[in-house]
Amino acid sequence: MTDKDVSKVKRKGTFKSAPLPVEAHTGVVLAGDELVKVAVAALEDVKAQDIQVIDVREKQSITDYMIIATGTSNRQIGAMLDKVREAVKAQGVKPLGEEGKGDSDWVLLDMDDVIVHMMTASARQFYDLERLWAGAEQSRSASAAHHSPENTHEHFTKLNKDQQ
């Protein structure tokens, strides 16, 4: 085969190769505490409400921290998800998975050491993850008084009475 023949072969079809590997993040991988700070800052940036961090290291081995935040609408919850995902990716963390995208009242972002739950107020009160993980070390923002056990919403008080 001559050089002329080789150049014809090279020009004739296009060959698709596998995508080039993405350069791995060479920085320090964020530990759970730092990842929590990045996620909370991202949630605060999009005006998430009642952000609560629960340390579950002593309760189970799936994750170290759970972050629970409330959004005022499904659209805001979507914005919260996008913002947290972008913030952690900028730090070199690739989320393991996402659940509940779209019109869901509850969206979850799994980053291995940290799981972020983003919910509407009604879904948050219905599922009551804070009570589920009661006894785990919790930290709550100052604006969280409306979710405290002392301030139960009226329809849930009635529901509890009806069940007794």
| More confident position, 152 or 118 | 118
- What pTM was estimated for this model as a whole? 0.65
- Inter-residue contact 33 to 137 (CB < 8 Å): no
The percent of residues in the chain predicted with pLDDT above 90, rounded, is 35
* pLDDT (0 to 100) of residue 119: 94
* pLDDT (0 to 100) of residue 129: 87
* pLDDT (0 to 100) of residue 158: 53
Distance CA 159, CA 43 (A): 31
- Inter-residue contact 110 to 97 (CB < 8 Å): yes
Distance CA 100, CA 123 (A): 12
For residue 98, pLDDT beyond 80: yes
| More confident position, 127 or 148 | 127
The end-to-end CA distance of the chain, in Å, is 89
For residue 32, pLDDT beyond 90: no
The SS3 call for residue 119 is strand
Write the pLDDT tens digit of every residue in 63-85.
Answer: 889 999 999 999 999 999 999 99
For residue 17, pLDDT beyond 70: no
The dihedral sign for the CA sequence 68, 74, 76, 78: positive
CA 42 from chain centre, in angstroms, equals: 10
Long-range CB contacts (< 8 A, 24+ apart) of 148-152? none
